[in-house]
Amino acid sequence: MTDLGDAMTDLIVCTALGMEARAVARGLRPELGGDHPRVRVVRVGMGPDRAARAAALLPPAAALAVTGFGGAVHDGLRPGDVLVATEVRSGDRVWPCPSAPLLAGELLRAGLPARTGPLVTSPHVVTGRGRHALAREGACAVDMESAPLAEAAGARPFAAVRVIVDTPDAPLLNLATMGGAIAARRTLARIGPVLARWAAAAGPRRVLLASPRSFCAGVERAIEIVERALDRFGAPVYVRKQIVHNIHVVRDLERRGAVFVDDLAEVPEGAVTVFSAHGVAPAVREEAGRRGLRVVDATCPLVAKVHAEARRFAARGDLVVLIGHAGHEEVEGVLGEVPGAGVLVEDEAGVADAAQNVPWGRGVAYLTQTTLAADEAGRVAAAIRRRFPDAEGPRGDDICYATTNRQHAVRAVAAQADLVLVVGSANSSNALRLTEVAARQAPLARLIDDPGDIALDWLRGARTVGLTAGASTPGATVDAVVAALGGLGPLEVEERRVTEENVEFTLPKEVRP
């Protein structure tokens, strides 16, 4: 046993071999001291029987981890890769490891080639043929010690992290594999500090779930349009730009046969093509017509409303001032409706610049990108009205109900949270605005795509976490974040609902049942 702390242990790290224990301890020493967690590294011996006997003698600790070398089962793993177990299997028993995405993300940020997947504990060394059989059952790697230690962990946070040294095609006892073990020892030293940060983030906490969150009616409609188009017309179905701004949605639809393109020139003539929820300019529709594309329009009806208002204002000769963010697809589509008659304003300072383009006596009207923060857009709209007292705004608020509701909901949790996590992709305007709104009230607010993006240092001392998601984020991703946080200790989940949403939009005729 290597003691790297005092008698009050925060983390016990178990290894089978002395060389593994020394490597982990060597990596940990520079990281510890001060307010770092108290860690013990324990050599338990090889095999499940030795590991079980050692587990019975382990001193109390807040968290338990096992690390060391492991054998690959999955073809995608190579010597030097790091597997973080999502679950440990032995016979017909399974021990979940829900914090695995948090650990894997931290290892990736540390520069290590980490991935997640099931780990099997075997009572004996598994050869190539046996490993192929385990792979067919969905396993990624095999070891001989993790299961007894997972059982000993009980309700405590538990992690199993293995550095791959051999594969079904490169068995353990050959010179090449033994050479790889030297590099694996260096990797083990780098794993130690990450495990210490994982232990420091562990503990009981409360999660405040903002509601409404995740998909809105327009996003659900857009995704359903692509799914129905695939069912009706077969793959491939081409989608101009991302159907909604979320990488998980895009990847899922790609697996089903959707092909996402940036330009219609990439689409074969006559192919089925879906326009994204963010809308397109008339020039794009005209190009699709010239090329004979079979178009299904997934533009959100609330975005289509802004397009119609822009056309109405421009038709009577007004300069159309659009409050929004440059480069966003929705902005490009709206301004494309009024060529030569529209100008983009991103902030209050931009109003003065826009004023230079208004001849004396010309009317001014303003519109708003649907996914902006309401308070930010309100300040810019007020600046427009001060500069142009007769300026006319939209009929009703352009900012969509879902954006407004999610901003109200995140405010309801941010003031009570040590940390707010907003789940959404970095190109989602809706999710970015939620993060900005949360940051005005919470000590720390961060945008994440999934649990792997959560830095463990954010969680240290954060006993109340606010959680929400942009309107283009699947609810399953939020569930994954909650599950990962639950792997760090007891979790109390409380939903804060500010309103109910019951909006539904009809589907285009091309994909209706």
224 CB contacts (<8 Å, ≥6 apart)?
A: 507, 511
Of residues 173 and 346, the one with the higher pLDDT is 346
pLDDT at 412: 95
Q: How far apart are the first and last CA of the chain?
A: 66
Query: What six digits make up the tokens of 455?
Result: 């830095």
DSSP annotation of 90 reads E
Q: Give the model confidence (pLDDT) of 135-176 as tens digits.
A: 899 999 999 999 999 999 999 999 999 999 988 776 555 545
- Which residue among the candidates 329, 330, 332, 337 is catalytic per the annotation? 330
Comparing 162-171, 190-199, 428-437, 443-452, which segment has the lowest mean pLDDT?
162-171
Query: What six digits make up the tokens of 368?
Result: 């708003």
Helix (H, G, I), strand (E, B) or coil at 483: helix
Tell me what the mean pLDDT of segment 387-403 comes to: 84
pLDDT at 3: 46
Comparing 30-34, 269-273, 371-375, 379-383, which segment has the lowest mean pLDDT?
30-34
Q: Is the pTM of this model over 0.85?
A: yes
Q: Is the pLDDT of residue 225 over 80?
A: yes
Tell me what the mean pLDDT of segment 181-186 comes to: 79
Helix (H, G, I), strand (E, B) or coil at 435: helix
Of residues 351 and 362, the one with the higher pLDDT is 351
Chain centroid offset of residue 286 CA: 36
CA distance 149 to 53: 10
pLDDT at 400: 87
Comparing 34-43, 181-190, 294-303, 402-411, which segment has the lowest mean pLDDT?
34-43
Q: Shortest CA distance to 15 belongs to which of 227, 257, 195?
A: 195
Element (H, E) at 233: helix 217-233
Band of residue 186 on the pLDDT scale cut at 50, 70, 90: confident
Comparing 127-131, 224-228, 317-321, which segment has the lowest mean pLDDT?
127-131
Comparing 69-78, 286-295, 447-456, which segment has the lowest mean pLDDT?
69-78
Query: What six digits make up the tokens of 200?
Result: 């420091």
Element (H, E) at 67: strand 63-72
101 CB contacts (<8 Å, ≥6 apart)?
A: 116, 450, 451, 452, 480, 484
Q: Is the pLDDT of residue 372 over 90?
A: no
pLDDT at 363: 86
Tell me what the mean pLDDT of segment 346-372 comes to: 83
DSSP annotation of 366 reads E
Share of the chain above pLDDT 70, in %: 93
312 CB contacts (<8 Å, ≥6 apart)?
A: none
Band of residue 441 on the pLDDT scale cut at 50, 70, 90: very high
Query: What six digits make up the tokens of 80?
Result: 């030097």
The DSSP bridge partners found for residue 242 are none
CA distance 26 to 413: 42
Element (H, E) at 13: strand 11-15
Q: What is the mean pLDDT of the chain?
A: 91
Q: Is the pLDDT of residue 347 over 60?
A: yes
Give backbone dihedrals phi and psi of 21, rounded to 5 degrees, phi first.
-60, -40
Q: Residue 301 burial (CB < 10 Å; 0-12/13-18/19+)? A: middle
CA distance 194 to 200: 10
CA distance 112 to 189: 11
Band of residue 374 on the pLDDT scale cut at 50, 70, 90: confident
Query: What six digits make up the tokens of 417?
Result: 């949270």
pLDDT at 7: 45
CB-CB contact of 498 with 409 (8 Å): yes
**Backbone region of residue 43 per phi and psi (left: phi > 0; alpha: psi in -120 to 50; beta: other values):** beta
Band of residue 361 on the pLDDT scale cut at 50, 70, 90: low
The alpha-helical segments, DSSP class H, found in 234-357 are 247-256, 282-290, 301-315, 329-336, 349-355
Instruction: Count how many Cα atoms sit within 13 Å of the Cα of residue 265 in the half-sphere of its side chain.
Output: 1
Q: Is the pLDDT of residue 473 over 80?
A: yes
Q: Is the pLDDT of residue 180 over 70?
A: no
pLDDT at 34: 47
Band of residue 22 on the pLDDT scale cut at 50, 70, 90: very high
pLDDT at 4: 45
Query: What six digits make up the tokens of 90?
Result: 């032995």
Annotation says 330 is catalytic:
yes
Q: Give the model confidence (pLDDT) of 105-127 as tens digits.
A: 999 999 999 999 999 999 988 88
For the CA atoms of 200, 208, 106, 148, the dihedral, rounded to the nearest 10 degrees, stands at 60
